Chain A
């Protein structure tokens, strides 16, 4: 039986409830919410005067009502040491989501720590240390003393390269400007560490290096552009699932034609029509189906490309557009360079592209027409280009990223209304740090850890065990190395600190690794660690981030962090304080002095030290100003102060035609096709029968670090699904929900078979980064020239392990596609 809460009523928000600005801390879209809190012993009433909404709640409320909240939007939490009711519901006044709540964000309240209601009780509450053979609670000073002493010892013996760091660089979800500045100032400012990686990739690099190298920042338009475009070009993304309310609130109106008035107001006499959309994806996603539902099949072009061949398609589109004379010659001349050189180098015919991509030449030509053939009267067609992990984690990331920017620039679609060439994004952003002190390409951190390098590893909000590539080998090596240190720690009394540090160092010399994990929940990699430090997340601290259109907001603290948990920025500061003391007591005053400037008492102190002083336009941005700007905030960069303490922002980047290069001209790039670029991928493709395509599901946020404790999610997906063509399932003797093993020469993992009529034969799609079946186990270690991983092009075999277990038998296995009748 499907999970049900058996709730027949909820407490009513009283008229005097406190109201707090909240931005959803899950995906990049950053929907606006409001949190309401009030004392646990009271509630409002149904009479209009007795509730926050001022309406008669004894009446059935309409569809889309702002006066209702789901059980998932309610909880009972601690605030300033007292129990309070909490309701977190979508904000109808936020221009991002206009009151829509996604299946992730609408669970913010339920995914909060509550002992009375038993939600997220797994949250870390105390610093933990390895003591007497298991993790035990201790004080912050004790835990940080061990971390500082071991870290200082390793640096003294091995130099700065002995310290490895895995640190998220994102906003939202416990990230944000305060916290990236905290770790950035510590590791890049004070310590100049180069062996650092990011939460979702094994090096300190950009996912969109090429776009940046060309002078085109990857978040250059605004969400309204999706309402204004003539054509939407979506490559390697699935926005209905993964940027849900951006799609529903800004793409769908254009596909339906309900944004036509906005277009007419913006563009005057220019011909306008409901949008057409091109979707490039080997898989028919729910987004494709929704687009057909809204725009009609004639206005949707799904290019079901051979996996990994996007670059060829993009080069062919550029060639065809240029040959037809559909480029924006004036823009190319005024704002770019190297167009002719790139066009010559990238020249690809429709037939050549068709042969490699598996598409029909006519469909590629049709896509080119939809993108760039001038409209009636000769006006330029406005096309918005949007890409995400299908490109970013796909074959030949650097060149493919460049190729899509080439196409956008050639058609004059950057810095213009209805245009943009943007990544869709995963997390929100919230990055302000001193420059990374390492080289380019950056060190391949996971590989170095597997090889035995480094003596101490600090981990901030990352879980390699679930999300890295070549994950089985990583786990094998990591466990072995960290177990050496655990055994050494077991051999000495915990209270003898000098002996403990000596024992740890002895184990490190034998190939051991001392590991410190900072997180909000127990993680898989945390099981290998020797110190675990409890962090606060969004809403338990004040936190600033920006979304996919650079919209910056402040989420206000509305509840207490669990136990002793602290914001990451303050953990970084206290670690810096301990490192300073450790070096000073060792007589190394020169090193100790580098750790000054970490005297922050609050996250606002970190914000003022970091973003306010160092971000572009940061001098105009304060917590007070952000509070006043609510859930709409402003779009970065800030350019000044407006009336009544508001912050002036930037709707689109590059509207003046000046780009982020030394001479201000965007640079076209040569992007020749070179097959499957990552070493070994072509051989893997030939050897194994199934494409193990992989990605996200709307219900699951990131690697399910909170969802794994949420019954609604785990009831639906107790195991990661693997969508398979029903004929393939029949060939393998599989029934709905049977557990299968997915395996290749890199590793193996498990998944739950999900019959999918639209899945192409021998092309499976597996949920990525899920705790009960890690797809990354089967992803080879191969990366591109800048150490960007290639998750999407994975091939393997599939075989049955077992019939559907008990926890699976009640599930529905019907198609995920909406049916109008």
Chain B
């Protein structure tokens, strides 16, 4: 995940210097409720119209290797990840392709992928997210789980993102 590593270096330097870093993140997938009991929740609020963007082809992906993308625009970095097993929100023939914003929803630092336990980690304040569990925050400071892309794979293997399930860090509308 070369680009993300670079972003992290950059992020850390700027963090230490107390300066800001231009980042963005993006997008998601909608899932069928598991049906478990849930506390009362706010109604689904303001949604926006998302573009359907081709991000990659399934042939571009290797198991366990993040593939850098951006969605819904070039200022919103994200990753596609082929996990090698069916997971929540997984697209493609094996249900194992997921896409996430690569920006921490806590304070906007770029996330680093750890292949060791397939997690996204934030060097800013140590938050962690699990791409195998819908971007659930394993531990951390964000009040959102990691925004995930709503992915569609067509008959040619092209992977499209068509929506995001949480607000992206640094923008009050996911589509700006």
Contacts and interface: CB of A to CB of B under 8 A. Distances in A.
Interface of A: 1-12, 46, 57-65, 68-73, 100-103, 106-107, 110, 114, 117-119, 121-122, 240, 244, 248, 256, 258, 286, 289-290, 293, 698, 708-712, 714-716, 718, 806-807, 809-812, 814-821
Contacts of B175: 8
B166 A63 contact: no
Interface in B1-44: 11, 14-16, 20-24, 28, 30-44
Contacts of A807: 34, 36-37
B39 A714 contact: yes
A709 B39 contact: yes
23 contacts: A1-B31, A2-B88, A2-B145, A5-B45, A6-B166, A7-B166, A9-B172, A11-B46, A63-B21, A68-B108, A71-B144, A117-B42, A118-B42, A119-B42, A293-B126, A698-B139, A698-B141, A708-B39, A712-B143, A712-B144, A714-B39, A812-B136, A818-B126
Contact of B167 (A10, A122, A289, A709): A10
Given A63-B23, A807-B37, A9 B173 contact: yes
A43 to B, nearest CB: 10
Contacts of A65: 20, 108, 170
Q: Which of A4, A258, A818 has the most CB of B within 10 A?
A: A4
B146 to A, nearest CB: 8
A815 B45 CA distance: 33
Contacts of B148: 4
Contacts of A2: 88, 133-137, 145
Contacts of B116: 819, 821
Given A1-B31, A62-B170, A63-B11, A7 B44 contact: yes
B41 A62 contact: no
Contacts of A100: 107, 125
Contacts of B127: 818
A75 to B, nearest CB: 8
A711 B126 contact: no
Interface string B107-131: 1110010101101011111111010
Contact of B41 (A9, A103, A118, A286): A118
Contacts of A122: 40
B97 interface: no
A102 B21 contact: no
A118 to B, nearest CB: 5
Contacts of A64: 20-21, 107-108
A70 B30 contact: no
Contact of B105 (A9, A70, A118, A716): A70
Contacts of A9: 46-48, 167, 172-174
A73 B50 CA distance: 23
B162 interface: no
A72 B20 CA distance: 22
Contacts, number: 236
Contact of B117 (A62, A289, A806, A814): A814
A698 B137 CA distance: 12
A451 B164 CA distance: 58
A710 B41 CA distance: 8
A810 B36 CA distance: 10
Nearest to A56: B176
A443 B165 CA distance: 54
B167 A70 contact: yes
A806 B35 contact: yes
B62 interface: no
A4 B88 CA distance: 13
B39 A820 contact: no
Contacts of A818: 121-122, 126-128, 139
Given A60-B176, A70-B167, A818-B127, 8 more contacts: A2-B145, A9-B48, A60-B75, A60-B170, A70-B105, A248-B125, A815-B117, A819-B121
A815 B22 contact: no
Given A60-B75, A811-B136, A4 B145 contact: yes
Contact of B108 (A62, A240, A716): A62
Nearest to B165: A4
Interface string B39-75: 1111111111010000000000000000000000001
A704 to B, nearest CB: 11
Contacts of B35: 806
B174 to A, nearest CB: 5
A102 B139 CA distance: 12
B113 to A, nearest CB: 9
A11 to B, nearest CB: 8
A70 B144 CA distance: 8
B16 to A, nearest CB: 6
Closest 7 CB pairs of A and B: A63-B108, A62-B20, A2-B136, A818-B126, A2-B134, A72-B143, A816-B139
B76 interface: yes
A819 B123 CA distance: 9
B169 interface: yes
B143 A806 contact: no
A10 B116 CA distance: 36
Contacts of A821: 112, 114, 116
B170 A68 contact: yes
Contact of B143 (A11, A107, A244, A708): A107
Contacts of A4: 28, 31, 134, 144-145, 147-148, 165-166
A582 to B, nearest CB: 39
Nearest to A100: B107
Contacts of A63: 11, 14-15, 20-23, 107-109, 124, 169-170
B133 to A, nearest CB: 4
B24 to A, nearest CB: 4
A7 B123 contact: no
A807 B75 CA distance: 36
A811 B164 CA distance: 20
A70 B108 CA distance: 11
Contacts of B40: 118-119, 121-122, 709, 711
A3 B145 contact: yes
A712 B146 CA distance: 12
B78 to A, nearest CB: 13
B166 to A, nearest CB: 5
A713 to B, nearest CB: 8
Given A9-B167, A68-B171, A818-B126, A60 B144 contact: no
A382 to B, nearest CB: 23
Given A8-B175, A70-B144, A816-B139, A290 B126 contact: yes
Q: Which of A2, A71, A293, A819 has the most CB of B within 10 A?
A: A2
A70 B11 contact: no
Contacts of B124: 63
Contact of B138 (A73, A117, A816): A816
A444 to B, nearest CB: 36
Contact of B114 (A1, A103, A710, A819): A819
Nearest to A818: B126
A819 B39 contact: no
Given A62-B20, A819-B119, A6 B172 contact: no
Contact of A816 (B24, B32, B128, B164): B128
Contacts of B48: 8-9
A243 to B, nearest CB: 13
B114 A806 contact: no
Contacts of A258: 16
Contacts of B119: 814, 819
Contacts of B133: 2, 810-812
A1 B107 contact: no
A6 B39 contact: no
A347 B76 CA distance: 62
A107 to B, nearest CB: 5
Nearest to A44: B172
A466 to B, nearest CB: 17
A61 B172 CA distance: 9
Given A63-B20, A821-B114, A8 B167 contact: yes
A586 B35 CA distance: 58
